Amino acid sequence: MSVPKNRFKAALAEGRLQIGFWQSLGTTITAEICAHAGFDWLLLDGEHGPNDLRSLRDQLMVVGPSKTSAVVRIAGADVVAVKQVMDAGAQTILVPIVDTAEEAALMAAAMRYPPEGIRGNGAGVVRASDYGRRAGYGKAANAEACLLVQAETVTALENLDAICATEGVDGVFIGPADLATSMGHMENPKHPEVQAAIEDAIVRIRKAGKAPGILMADEALARRYIELGALFVAVGSDVAMLAQGSRALAARYLGGEGDESGGVY
């Protein structure tokens, strides 16, 4: 039994657009439903979603049999977290708030076994190797590892060329919300200054030979980013679809615009 081909990594290397969908609810049910919806990739969110290692593993299990690739976002630039989610079966990892080339290089090393990296080797007992039944897993895993880093601060944009030049980085994801906050425009990622920075970053990332990515639910903006060269674009989320869809349905029958409290007390 060979190591599975990382279809997502191959698509980015070939310059093929990958359309994705965010998974923030942390459940296998929504992950399984969305895995068969037709998206190229799903983001399993371990940063802001209520996930732990077990829930991420379980979602990887239900997404695995589908034609959709799983991308796991960890909570931060953590070597141990990289090792654990890879052992659970992740091949593509998204790391938030990577501000420097040094941080990107550390994450690239964390994803790979020596001598290319520093990943701890427990291949004989983990899900990624089918619990030791995948012959040659340790040697083949490095080649299929795909690292995406998030540039979402002013500092990251200042260091963007160096981050893109880092060996082992496959793509750079622009985080509109955090970038807007870093630029002094909290809750306003559509501010002209933020949009100019995003567009410039997409062009620079693609020019550097790496894949640009972003999450954008506004269709006009999403298509604009694709025109500029973005290759992995998430166009919505499970939370937004449920929150907005349920509110709109209630309003059609009950009138009004729904409960403004957000349900958090």
Active site residues: 48
Residues linked to residue 108 through DSSP beta bridges, in sequence order: none
d(CA 25, CA 44): 9
Helix (H, G, I), strand (E, B) or coil at 179: helix
β partners of residue 211:
171
Crossing angle between the packed helical segments 192-207 and 219-228, to the nearest 10 degrees: 30
Q: The tokens of 58 are what?
A: 């379980």
The number of residues making up the chain comes to: 265
In this structure, the dihedral spanned by the alpha carbons of residues 61, 145, 50 and 36, taken in order and rounded to 10 degrees, is -40
Residue 100: enclosing H or E segment and its boundaries?
none
Residue with tokens 């994705």: 20
- The H or E element spanning position 53 is helix 53-63
